[in-house]
Amino acid sequence: MKELLEKQKTMFISSLDENNLPQASYAPYVMIEDRVYIYISEVAEHYRNLERNENVAFMMIEDESFSENLFVRKRVSFRGKAKKILDVPEDIKKKFEAIHGENMMNLLYKMDFKFFEINITRGRLVEGFGKAFDLSYENGKWKRESVSSEKVNHR
């Protein structure tokens, strides 16, 4: 999981619009422990959605060009609660600058972009056929619990 999260700089994000209909998008992100931070424009649909409804799902997925089999691309998906943060800690800004480029971030700081913090409530890691794990964050570490077909109701 660590390798996948370190390789990916953006995530797919699903939020709910004013009619509670799903809306898919993407956003650059940084992850610190069990929290994910995104920096998005006020004109983006998912910005307005997250202001109205804190519930969010998001996924980081292996690039197709590196996948051995497109049916089992390595991926990690999460659900969480998002909130806009106005007083952004310096370590979050520095991590964005390190990952996404200081020049780009300095340009975006002058625009209508705002930070959101997503507190993860649950996760699922898929590493291949029969290799799925529920994720939880405990005592500063990610824990995996294997998911088997007996645990999943396939009706």
What pLDDT is recorded for position 108? 86
What pLDDT is recorded for position 34? 85
What pLDDT is recorded for position 141? 86
What pLDDT is recorded for position 122? 92
CATH number for the region 1-146 comes to 2.30.110.10
Ranges of the chain with pLDDT below 50: none
**CB-based contacts of 32, cutoff 8 Å, min separation 6:** 91, 92, 95
What pLDDT is recorded for position 94? 94
User: Exposed, middle or buried by CB within 10 Å (0-12, 13-18, 19+), for 30?
Assistant: buried
Measure the CA–CA gap between 26 and 43, rounded to whole angstroms.
14
Q: Are 115 and 92 in contact (CB under 8 A)?
A: yes
What pLDDT is recorded for position 152? 56
